[in-house]
């Protein structure tokens, strides 16, 4: 049994790295579990605990659905929080709406359904999780930090492949181990 998810790897640089650093600096006294920059990604589907024998079927589906679907580019833009500024749980960087990204996600979600995998039925909201908030003592600092980057274009990211990851939970934080890479 492996805890798995399907994602796009993002290598942060330039303005995006500066934004992450600024958020961490401005919120350093808060109880926030920041995502390691090596682990930054856009989740397409989270499958959770999955039997080892099902993983090969998922890999075959990803190979057939991704191959030839076409490379494209996305834009990381802005920042915000999930739940609300009054009760924030996650700090995120946004993804500019992209028909190609939505199409790729649809191919994968439908492929998972075709292979009998059940996943949560909820609208696709592409984002990059930057930090998980455990406790916040100064909500105004978070609001100001998020507002500063709300509409800022941060980084263009080439999308050339989809990665099937195993998420290994350790006391020091999660390790994301690629199980398979599927070229578009």
Q: Which residues are catalytic, by number? A: 41, 127
3-state secondary structure of 7: strand
The residue written with tokens 């920041």 in the block is: 34
Q: What distance in Å separates the CA atoms of residue 36 and residue 38, rounded to the nearest whole number?
A: 5
Show Cβ contacts of residue 123 under 8 Å, excluding neighbours closer than 6 positions. none
Q: What distance in Å separates the CA atoms of residue 49 and residue 71, rounded to the nearest whole number?
A: 29
Q: What distance in Å separates the CA atoms of residue 85 and residue 54, rounded to the nearest whole number?
A: 39
Helix ranges (DSSP H) in 27-180: 52-66, 99-114, 139-148
**Beta carbons of 162 and 89 less than 8 angstroms apart:** no
Over the Cα atoms of the chain, what is R_g? 17
Cα 31 from chain centre:
21
């Amino acid at each position: 049994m492996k805890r798995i998810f399907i994602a796009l790897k993002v290598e942060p640089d330039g303005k995006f790295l500066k934004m992450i650093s600024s958020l961490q600096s401005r919120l350093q006294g808060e109880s926030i579990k920041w995502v390691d920059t090596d682990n930054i990604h856009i989740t397409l589907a989270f499958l959770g605990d999955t039997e080892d024998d099902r993983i090969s079927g998922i890999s075959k589906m990803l190979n057939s659905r991704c191959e030839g679907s076409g490379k494209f580019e996305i834009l990381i833009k802005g920042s915000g929080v999930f739940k609300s500024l009054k009760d924030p749980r996650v700090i995120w960087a946004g993804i500019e709406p992209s028909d190609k990204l939505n199409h790729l996600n649809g191919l994968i979600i439908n492929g998972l359904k075709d292979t009998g995998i059940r996943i949560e039925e909820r609208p696709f909201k592409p984002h990059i999780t930057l930090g998980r908030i455990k406790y916040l003592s100064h909500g105004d600092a978070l609001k100001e930090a998020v507002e500063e980057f709300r509409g800022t274009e941060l980084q263009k990211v080439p999308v050339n492949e989809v990665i099937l990851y195993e998420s290994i939970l350790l006391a020091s934080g999660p390790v994301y181990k690629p199980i398979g890479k599927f070229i578009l």
